[in-house]
Amino acid sequence: MKKLSTLFVFSFLSLLFFAFNLQAQTTPEDYFVGTWNVKAFGLPDGDKELVLQFEKKDGKLTGGIVDPTSKKIVNPFTSVELASNKLKANFIAPEQQMDVYLTLEKKDDTNVTGSIMDMFNMEGTKAK
């Protein structure tokens, strides 16, 4: 009987531990949701600081480039695609009126790397 109760307690604790670990894991979509402070390097007009915002609406990621002063999206993404830990977002560049894409890839819990049009490297940190 003692072995049976010990086995029951061990099984219950294992199940509880598994459930907590499962809840702690985030999906790739959830990882990107929020505000990101990103720096793009080597653009034609020099390095540029960008604020990117992603949110989940109707099960899909949306968002855009945020004006740091007004904290409002000034350049919305026309599409956002997610594959594993890599995100691709398209937007219309206001100066050239052309479709531009950026990619972000999870580096660790709060940092991303990426590029604009696979030409200009970016690094970013999730805002708190």
At 56-97, the pLDDT tens digits run 999 899 999 999 999 999 999 999 999 989 999 999 998 889
Q: Is 26 within 8 Å of 113 (Cβ atoms)?
A: no
Confidence of residue 28 (pLDDT cuts 50, 70, 90): confident
Share of the chain above pLDDT 90, in %: 69
* pLDDT, position 16: 43
Amino acid, res. 39: K
Contact between 76 and 90 under an 8 Å Cβ cutoff? The reply is no
Return the minimum-mean-pLDDT range out of 10-19, 42-51, 80-89: 10-19
Query: What distance in Å separates the CA atoms of residue 38 and residue 36, rounded to the nearest whole number?
Result: 6
Mean pLDDT of the chain: 86
Contact 102, 122 (CB under 8 A): yes
Q: What is the pLDDT of residue 15?
A: 46
List of domains in the chain:
28-126 (2.40.128.120)
Interacting residues of 48 by C-beta distance below 8 A, sequence separation 6+: 39, 40
